[in-house]
Structure 1
């Protein structure tokens, strides 16, 4: 499939998604497979989680639009899925959900001599992030924090 047809297909699918309050995160066309595989990753525009039912709901109209467009003149498999869970914690919901989980905190080296801290997520406030490092609660001002990610604890 050439780039022009891929762009047309992606724009067509974005319109189908928009009507259903979804957004296309990515479209991957694996032409080296027989039949070719169209992998579409969607998310909800309101930020809610994608369910299996949402994927099924998007599948039928997406298939119909692909068929009606005549952009693919071969057999294909259509796979609809969600983005999954990101390792990076960004939303208030993330911080509540993963309280007590191991995190890696990347620090701004302008304000801190350390580059990373590992510990258990303890608390997030407006001004600081608190992590439990081997039983000691360390409060880190947010101006020192670059990124907070889920991880595995290293001894």
Structure 2
């Protein structure tokens, strides 16, 4: 499938998803499979969790849109799923849920001399991230934080 057709298909499927209050996080067309696989990863626009019923609900309208578009003229399998659980903490909910868990904080080297910090997630405010490093609380300004992800602490 050429790039233009994929872009057209993605635009069509985003309209369908938006009608159900979903966003498409990714659309992948695996042409090396027989039949080809169209994999759509969705999330809810309000940030709530995706259920199996949500994926099922989008399946028929997405299939109909693909069929009516005539962009794919061969057999295909449509897979609709959620993002799943990521190691990266991004939402307020993530930071509340994983308070006390071990995290790896990647720092912006333009603003900080250190590249990584490991510790237990202590607190997130609008201005800083606090982690517990061997019993000491370190507050890191958010302008220095590139990424926060769950990890396993090493002694």
User: Which bracket does the TM-score occupy, shorter chain normalised?
Assistant: 0.7 to 0.9
Distance 1:123 1:145 in 2: 14
TM-score (norm 1): 0.87
Distance 2:11 2:140 in 1: 44
Distance 1:13 1:85 in 2: 23
Q: CA RMSD in A?
A: 1.9
2:102 is the counterpart of 1:102: yes
1:45-56 matches, within 5 Å, as 45-56=45-56
Number of residue pairs matched by the alignment: 155
Deviations 1:18-46 (A, max 9, x none): 11111122111111111111001111122
User: Cα gap change, 1:36/1:148 in structure 2, threshold over 3 Å: closer, same or farther?
Assistant: same
Instruction: Give 1:72's aligned residue.
Output: 72
TM-score (norm 2): 0.87
Mark the runs of 5 or more structure 2 residues left unpaired by the alignment: none
1:4-153 matches, within 5 Å, as 4-109=4-109, 112-153=112-153
Mark the runs of 5 or more structure 1 residues left unpaired by the alignment: none
